[in-house]
Amino acid sequence: MAEAGSAVSALRPRLEALGRRLAAPRVAGGDGVFLAKGSAALEKLKDLCKEGKEKTRPSVLLQLYTQAVLDITYFEESQLVEEDFAGESSLQKVKELICILSDPEDLVRECSLNEEVSTNVILWMIYFLAYRSILFQPINILSTDLLECLYWRKGALLYMYCHTAKERSEWLQGNIALFKKCLNDGVHYLMKMLSFRCPLHLDGDVLLQDKDTARLLSEGIFSDTHLLAMMYSGEMCYWGLKYCGEEKQESPKMTEPVSGSDLGCRSQGTLADFLELGKAMLTKYVAVCEGPLKDQGWNTTSAKQMLCYLRKTHT
């Protein structure tokens, strides 16, 4: 159980850091339910990491740690949103939260964790991962649901920050490059979130009685959050074109993320430019909301207005 010992050693200082965040003085606001859940998960982790209790599987430790991170940071995010990201320190707080949300993946890499699997399974995974070019993605330990949640939270946090920042004209005029970087990183995180599941390819061997459900799955939409990620990423691309100026329409390169540290995600290349990606995401959003999700309460008015702007102004 060397891997378990490695995980415990790496976890202990992280648990102490989370404990300090929980103990920090707080103003009113935030969602106390999530804070309580995070505190409970943290206490359970501390108990599992005690001497003599280090035989817990690494995946259990990592998933429990990830859940604690998600719950504790959600409380802090809620406070920032309720305060409209007020104060000069709000962006620094956003950076800190993104660092923390990036840490579970960094922990997996740091510990070189892998579950014990059979030779046949290993061979199959090598083939599958090589085919998808994600050989170094830690899917053994962190479930797809958790990975999606981590990237969704990072992307949505930057979306909410940019949504507020764009309304502060004086700040925006003096911080266009920073605003654009926040948009770049937010779009990157949301597109990454959408990449973890493969769209369902329908053929003669796949029969679904509900054609609307089949259409959603074939578009890679497995939940409301997937659809929101498409809308958010499209809207952020629209903001990039609208507020960052004509001369700043080059393809947004994802170099160092807004976290500004080694904790966080690195892109493997360049995202599609704001115009093409924005049109693609908003077009798909409108098509789905007015197709299989028609009369389900999804509004397309704003998305259509943004599409109109992209098509007319940037043809």
Q: Which one has a higher pLDDT value, 190 or 124?
A: 190
Q: Mean pLDDT in the chain?
A: 79
pLDDT tens figures, 179-224: 999 999 999 999 999 999 887 766 655 555 567 777 787 778 889 9
For 126-161, what is each residue's pLDDT tens digit?
Answer: 333 333 333 334 445 788 999 999 999 999 999 999
Q: How is the chain split into domains, by residue range?
A: 1-115, 143-315
Q: Which residue bears the tokens 């106390």?
A: 32
In this model, does residue 124 exceed pLDDT 50? no
Query: What pTM did the predictor assign?
Result: 0.81
Residues of the chain with pLDDT > 70, as a percent, come to 73
Distances (CA, A) of 20 to 24, 25, 69, 104, 250: 6, 10, 13, 18, 42
27 dihedral zone (left: phi>0; alpha: psi -120 to 50; beta): beta
